[in-house]
Amino acid sequence: MLSRTMVGIVALALLSSVLVATSPQASASRPIMTIADTLSRTNTLIFEPLNHQVIKLTFTSVQQWAGDWVGINVFEGQAVLRVGKINTVPATGTFTGTVLGKFGTLTLAGATIFRDDGSFMMDHFTIIDGTGELENLRGHVGLDEHPPTFELNDRMVWWIHFEP
């Protein structure tokens, strides 16, 4: 009889875990659109020619954002650029500030792709992790539809959600 009771308890535990896992409160929220406008930007670019067709780029971009994202973001990266080819420039970023009024620090990773003529093709960045009230924030930005001008007032549309 004890074994039948244990089987019942285990069955109830499994059933309740399935019900909790499928409940709306336990699933991630739906992504929402947020805006980050660039108020200021300071770029440091170092170009090192490796030969007549290849250039090494090392860069840092410090940006002040406003809108739904308020704070400072620092992007850093390094790439080997080939003249007359499509080039991918990877970068990592650290954002410190608020997103929708919640404070913390986020680590971002992504890349910018340039056409063979050097013009902007697309941009994509993803939230890797966070601290503070942004610890459970996930999301991404893609700038292929509205290319940045790399001037002030660039607008980034981030799709985000807070995981439970």
Q: Which domains does the chain have, with CATH numbers?
A: 29-162 (2.40.350.10)
Q: Which helix (H) or strand (E) holds 11?
A: helix 2-21
Give the phi and the psi of residue 77 in degrees, each rounded to 5: -175, 175
- What does the pLDDT read at residue 143? 62
Look at 103 and 120; give whichever has higher pLDDT. 103
- What does the pLDDT read at residue 153? 55
Give CA–CA dist 119/39, Å, rounded. Answer: 23
Reported as a single tens digit per residue, the pLDDT across 57-107 is: 999 999 999 999 999 999 999 999 999 999 999 999 999 999 999 999 999
Reported as a single tens digit per residue, the pLDDT across 20-50 is: 333 333 335 788 999 898 888 898 989 999 9
Give CA–CA dist 70/26, Å, rounded. Answer: 29
Tokens of residue 41, six digits? 């930007």
pTM for the whole thing?
0.75
Separation in Å, CA 28 to CA 18, 130, 164: 16, 16, 6
| pLDDT, mean of residues 108-114 | 89
